[in-house]
């Protein structure tokens, strides 16, 4: 099996301006933050970011990297609304497509199946179609002729995910309470990159958990980044919980450009993961 190990900088080197990039995890949980920070430090711009959003979306909005956000929500969990995303949304500096959480999943699933859309009842009878005029409806070709929302495929140029464990070939394992939809992000994308807390021999993956925890298969992954504390400051259970103090410090930086720039210089512009861990994780 091929050895797919690479660095965050290698991943960013395969991304281009204007790409549609899906970011796995959920809210402020198991986000591939070391790869997000690498994008933040790069010259990349005009990105469409697709996410069950958390600080990944907020950081990239604050850094001026986002042209459009497609999301089911953007939350820090213990802080209900991501403040940097809120500032960008209210300021009109980004385009948005806000979807019901299930519709968002359906869009990724359609892309993974290489279908143009999938039908759903979600959204019918609500103001969603009014506020998202790009969405269309279809009628069932069967006897009842029911009208349904046609959720368009959310096709990704690249997907970024974070797992607890992985092997060098690209098999990935989650050990926390939820798989989220990281597998759909990978299957909907042309290029797929996975960071992990630790790269282990393939034989050790089943020692860590049961078979169902091996949600990511090597055929879904093009690159593996070993990144201890790579999801910080989001949670990566059971390896570590969300760093609530750091998250509050981050959220407060939305109050002024000066606070954001000082926070960025202190923590986010560090291009060495060991330096970041020393300054941010062990502060």
Question: What residues contact 279, with CB distance under 8 A and at least 6 apart?
Answer: 266, 267, 270
- Predicted confidence (pLDDT) per residue in 84-113, tens digit: 999 999 999 999 999 999 999 999 999 999
Structure tokens at 227: 């990144």
What single string gives the DSSP state of each residue in 171-189?
A: -EE--SS--TTHHHHHHTE
**Chain centroid offset of residue 204 CA:** 26
HSE-up of residue 47 (Cα within 13 Å, Cβ side): 30
Edge to edge, what strands does the sheet with 117-120 contain? Answer: 117-120, 147-152, 136-139
High-pLDDT (> 70) share of the chain, %: 99
Structure tokens at 30: 């198991």
All CATH 3.40.1080.10 domain ranges of the chain, comma separated, are 8-101+154-275
Instruction: Determine how β-strand 117-120 pairs with β-strand 172-173.
Output: unpaired
Measured CA distances, 133 to 99, 101, 141, 149, 234 (Å): 12, 18, 23, 12, 34
Average pLDDT over residues 161-168: 97
Q: What does the pLDDT read at residue 270?
A: 85
- Which neighbouring-strand residues pair with 192? 159
pLDDT at 73 over 70: yes
**Cβ–Cβ < 8 Å for 221, 185:** no
Structure tokens at 11: 């991943």
Which has more confidence, 210 or 73? 73
Which of 236, 163, 232 lies closest to 198, judged by CA?
163
Instruction: Name the burial class of residue 247, with classes exposed (0-12), middle (13-18) and buried (19+) by CB atoms within 10 angstroms of its CB.
Output: buried
Q: What does the pLDDT read at residue 281?
A: 84
Q: How many helices (H) and strands (E) does the chain have?
A: 11, 11
Superfamily of domain 8-101+154-275 in CATH is Glutaconate Coenzyme A-transferase (3.40.1080.10)
Average pLDDT of the chain, as a whole number? 95
- Predicted confidence (pLDDT) per residue in 133-160, tens digit: 889 999 999 988 999 999 999 999 999 9
Residue 277 pLDDT class (50, 70, 90 cuts): confident
pTM of the model: 0.96
Which of 19, 23, 15 lies closest to 195, judged by CA?
23
Structure tokens at 226: 């070993």
């Amino acid at each position: 099996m091929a050895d797919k190990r690479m660095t965050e900088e290698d991943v960013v080197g395969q991304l281009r301006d204007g790409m549609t990039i899906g970011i796995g995890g959920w809210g402020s949980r198991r986000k591939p933050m070391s790869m997000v920070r690498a994008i933040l430090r790069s010259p990349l711009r005009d990105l469409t970011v697709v996410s069950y959003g958390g600080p990944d979306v907020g950081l990239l909005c604050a850094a001026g990297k986002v042209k459009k956000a497609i999301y089911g929500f953007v939350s820090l969990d213990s802080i209900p609304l991501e403040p940097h995303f809120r500032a960008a949304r209210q300021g009109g500096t980004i385009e948005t497509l806000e979807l019901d959480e299930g519709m968002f999943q359906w869009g990724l699933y359609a892309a993974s199946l290489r279908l143009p859309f999938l039908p759903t009842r979600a959204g019918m009878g609500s103001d969603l179609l009014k506020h998202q005029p790009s969405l269309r409806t279809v009628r069932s070709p069967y006897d009842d002729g029911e009208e349904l929302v046609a959720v368009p495929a959310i096709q990704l140029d690249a997907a970024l995910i974070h797992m607890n464990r992985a092997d060098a070939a690209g098999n990935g394992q989650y050990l926390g309470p939820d798989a989220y939809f990281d597998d759909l992000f990978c299957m909907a994308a042309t290029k797929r990159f996975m960071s992990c807390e630790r790269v282990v021999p393939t034989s050790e993956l089943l020692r860590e958990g049961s078979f169902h925890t091996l949600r990511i298969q090597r055929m879904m992954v093009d690159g593996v980044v070993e990144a201890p504390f790579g999801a910080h400051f989001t949670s990566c259970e059971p390896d570590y919980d969300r760093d609530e103090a750091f998250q509050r410090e981050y959220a407060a930086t939305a109050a002024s450009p000066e606070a954001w720039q000082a926070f960025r210089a202190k923590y986010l512009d560090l291009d060495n993961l060991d330096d970041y861990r020393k300054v941010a994780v062990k502060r």
